[in-house]
Amino acid sequence: MIRGVRGATTVPVNDARQIAERTRELIRLLVEANGMAPGDIASALFTVTEDLDSAFPSVAARGFPDWKDVPLLCAREIPVPGSLVRCIRILIHWNTDRPQGQVRHVFLRGARRLRPEWAVPVAGDEDEESSRLAGGGS
């Protein structure tokens, strides 16, 4: 059986180092929260908002030695007015017998607004700039 595991985070600026660090943090927390064995990860799809173009999040995933054989894909999200800015999302396809209700999704930093029920606090979580919505909303 395959389950979808979702996560998202934000970055304060469009910077390759920040994108890599926040992507690695998100992956690490998703894997830990679910006890995923690397061999059970079928694939991962990353998306970024249109304002992030300095790095592919999948490059950060390749930094995990156990992920070298995991098929990865990156895509850019459509620019919907009022959407979250500088956001990285991931959808992991995970081979598991765990019931869907036991899958733990992880939403960090400004992305906590997307799914507050799946929010996970992390050090330095107050990220005012990256939690703003496009178009000046809050």
For the segment 15-59, what is each residue's pLDDT rounded down to a tens digit?
999 999 999 999 999 999 999 998 999 999 999 999 999 999 999
Q: What is the mean pLDDT of the chain?
A: 88
State what percent of residues in the chain have pLDDT above 90: 74
Task: Show the CA angle centred on residue 40, arms to residues 39 and 41, nearest 5°.
Answer: 95
Contact 134, 85 (CB under 8 A): yes
What pLDDT was estimated at residue 88? Answer: 98
H helices within the chain, ranges in order?
A: 16-34, 57-61, 128-131
Q: Which two tokens stand for residue 133?
A: 């919505």
On the question of pLDDT at 131 being above 80, the answer is: no
Confidence of residue 111 (pLDDT cuts 50, 70, 90): very high
Domain boundaries, the chain: 2-136
What pLDDT was estimated at residue 47? Answer: 97
Instruction: Give the CA count within 13 Å in the CB-facing half-sphere of 122.
Output: 20
Domain 2-136 of CATH type 3.30.1330.40: yes
Cα 138 to Cα 133: distance, rounded to the nearest angstrom: 6
Cα 3 to Cα 101: distance, rounded to the nearest angstrom: 10
Question: pTM of this prediction?
Answer: 0.87
